[in-house]
Amino acid sequence: MHKHILLATVATFASLGLAGTASASSYTGWYGSAELGLNIASDEDGVNDTLDTTFTAGYTHTAEWDAGWAVLGAVGYSFGNIRAEVELGYRANDLDKFVVSGNEYDNGGDISHFTVMANALYDHKVTEDYEVSVGGGIGFDNINYDNTAGWHSSPTIKDSDTFFAWQLMAGVSRPMPSWGTDVFLNYRYTQTEDLSFRELDGSGNTHNDDYSNLSNHLISVGVRFQ
């Protein structure tokens, strides 16, 4: 469902851009961008220890994360008011609490995301000095997951895997033609789907933390070089 909505949204933006407007961005050509931002990882519900023979019923849990940081870079091509780009991103957050059946465990942990996304964006000039951008992307999220909060005292769950991810984007920019750059403020909602992190204990039992999805809200500032 999410993927269908995303693809329909991007297609709509593309059709608007191909129609063209006199107020749209006039720059055509290659560009590169760099961004630094604040990453807010949503609290997420999941299930754990569904694979361990000691806990055959499994448990539900909630993972709560501290605010983190992110850095991103992209290379793309502008067709005027439509841009296509490949984006690399890194996000990191510490684990604040791991709540299992009402019990809180807070001995630590962290999560990091390395994303590779293909984005399509539509730019529209709203005043002489400012443009707004909307778009989305699909790609992959390689996650390093480290849960040492206390529930899994033996072992802690440390796992890394790659999952499908998608994102929606919006931003405002100020073109600076004399410098060949744009400065901008962006917002991204990124969601990673169907995650499972696993670890073996000393007895050969498999412990797991599973999530239907993990989502991140990212606010960033950046520079785009024409």
Domains of the chain plus CATH, in order, are 2-225 (2.40.160.20)
- Please tell me the distance from the alpha carbon of residue 182 to that of residue 173, in angstroms, as a whole number: 6
pLDDT reported for residue 10: 43
Letter string b/e over residues 49-75, b meaning 16 or more CB atoms within 10 A of that residue's CB:
bbebeeeeeeeebebbbeebebbbebe
pLDDT reported for residue 152: 59
pLDDT reported for residue 56: 60
pLDDT reported for residue 16: 38
12 in helix, strand or coil?
A: helix
Backbone angles phi, psi at 14, to 5 degrees: -65, -40
pLDDT reported for residue 57: 64
Q: How many CB atoms lie within 10 A of CB 103?
A: 11
- Please tell me the distance from the alpha carbon of residue 128 to that of residue 212, in angstroms, as a whole number: 44
Three-class secondary structure assignment of 134-155:
EEEEEEEEEEEEEECCCCCCCC
Cα angle for residues 194, 198, 145 (degrees, 5° grid): 75
Let me know: does 134 contact 170? Beta carbons within 8 Å: yes
- Please tell me the distance from the alpha carbon of residue 185 to that of residue 19, in angstroms, as a whole number: 26
Taking only the tens of pLDDT, the chain with its 226 residues reads 444 444 444 444 444 343 333 334 567 999 999 999 999 999 999 888 888 767 666 788 899 999 999 999 999 999 989 999 999 999 999 999 999 888 888 888 999 999 999 999 999 999 989 999 999 999 999 999 999 887 655 568 899 999 999 999 999 999 888 888 999 999 999 999 999 998 887 777 788 889 999 999 999 999 999 8
Place of tokens 């999220």: 141
